[in-house]
Amino acid sequence: MTTSQETERDGVRAGDERLEAFDAGRVEAAVRELLIGIGEDPDREGLRDTPARVARSYRELFAGLWTDPADVLGRTFGEDHDELVLVRDIPLFSMCEHHLLPFHGVAHVAYLPGTDGRVTGLSKLARLVDLYARRPQVQERLTTQVADALDKTLGARGVLVVIDCEHQCMSARGVRKPGSRTTTSAVRGILKTSASTRAEALGLIRH
Ligand SMILES: Nc1nc2c(ncn2[C@@H]2O[C@H](COP(=O)(O)OP(=O)(O)OP(=O)(O)O)[C@@H](O)[C@H]2O)c(=O)[nH]1
Ligand SMILES: [Zn+2]
């Protein structure tokens, strides 16, 4: 019998064919080339293990590519609560797909349970954010994907996702505006059609 630790790593089940998509050797070779390309010596002591370190790090940072939202939202339980559920200030780390530089900040995820009277575990909302954050991303798509998963996979009656991040591609390079933040939102179902329900959710997020 296998333990859950053996069968699951970074949310990806061993034996899952989606795991095969990650080619560590190829990532290592590319990082070695990259180091040569910037004029470095990949064989000097400090850089010798860097390609393997980056491959391990990318394996973790992009683990969301091999995970399905149904894996996260599959387990629900009956609860007599048909009103708003909000998890605020979920820290998130993602990678901008344009520059492969991090963006990080917080996500606020609110939903109204579906008519079947079932809710998901609170941690699953944070896991869902991680699942989509751990991919090459843009913030708008990340926000949309989290909202759509709750709308379609969980069958929520209403969804509101607000994400607020600082992008290192805007801080460390390029336009160089550290401290500037980007806010995106996605609204579905009742939270879209009912201004008062949406105002209640936004008020709780601001609280
Ligand atoms: N809409 C959106 N844009 C993003 C996101 N992350 C990075 N960007 C932007 O993607 C754009 C890429 O612009 P390009 O002109 O192709 O690349 P660039 O020459 O490196 O652009 P600069 O960053 O302006 O130097 C930049 O304006 C980034 O600020 C994101 O999550 N959403
Ligand atoms: Zn970027």
Question: Tokens 């609280």 — which residue?
Answer: 207
What tokens does 128 get? 């869902």
Q: Is the pLDDT of residue 5 over 80?
A: no
pLDDT over 90 (residue 203) = yes
Measured distance CA(64)–CA(12) in Å, rounded: 8
- Residue with CA closest to ligand 1 atom 12: 98
* Interval 17-70: pLDDT, tens: 555 689 999 999 999 999 999 999 999 999 999 999 999 999 999 999 988 899
Percent of the chain with pLDDT over 90: 81
Query: Sorting pLDDT into bands at 50, 70 and 90, what band is 16?
Result: low
162: which residues sit within 8 A by CB, 6+ positions away? 107, 108, 143, 183, 184, 185, 202, 205
97 annotated active-site: yes
Q: Is 81 noted as a catalytic residue in this protein?
A: no
Could you report the per-residue pLDDT of 118-139, keeping only the tens digit for each? 899 999 999 999 999 999 999 9
Q: Name the residue at shortest CA distance from atom 20 of ligand 1.
A: 174
Tens digits of residue pLDDT in 77-96: 899 888 999 999 999 999 99
Check residue 20 and give its pLDDT: 60
**CATH 3.30.1130.10 matches 69-206:** yes
Residue 174 CB coordination number (10 Å): 13
Average pLDDT, stretch 104-118?
94
By alpha-carbon position, which residue is closest to atom 21 of ligand 1?
174
Helix (H, G, I), strand (E, B) or coil at 173: coil
Quick one: average pLDDT of 170-197?
97
Measure the CA–CA gap between 192 and 172, rounded to whole angstroms.
36
Q: What is the pLDDT of residue 80?
A: 85
Query: Is the pLDDT at 147 greater than 60, yes or no?
Result: yes
- Please give the share of the chain, as a percent, with pLDDT higher than 70: 90
- Bind-site residues for Zn(2+): 96, 99, 169
DSSP letters, 118-168, are EEE-HHHHHHHHHHHHSSEE-HHHHHHHHHHIIIIIS--SEEEEEEEEEEH
Centre of ligand 1 to C-alpha 123, Å, is 31
Query: 192 Cβ partners below 8 Å, 6+ apart?
Result: 158, 198
Instruction: Indicate the pairing of strand 158-167 with strand 136-137.
Output: unpaired
CA of 163 to the centre of ligand 1 (A): 17
Q: Is 98 in the pocket of ligand 1 (CB under 6 A)?
A: yes
Predicted TM-score of the model (pTM)? 0.90
Whether 139 is a known active-site residue: answer yes
Beta strand pairing status for 102-112 and 85-96?
Answer: antiparallel
Q: Give domain limits for the chain.
A: 4-66, 69-206
Which residue out of 96, 108, 137, 145 is catalytically annotated? 96
Distance (angstroms) between ligand 1 centre and the Cα of 199 equals 31
Q: Give me the CATH topology for the region 4-66.
A: GTP Cyclohydrolase I; Chain A, domain 1 (1.10.286)
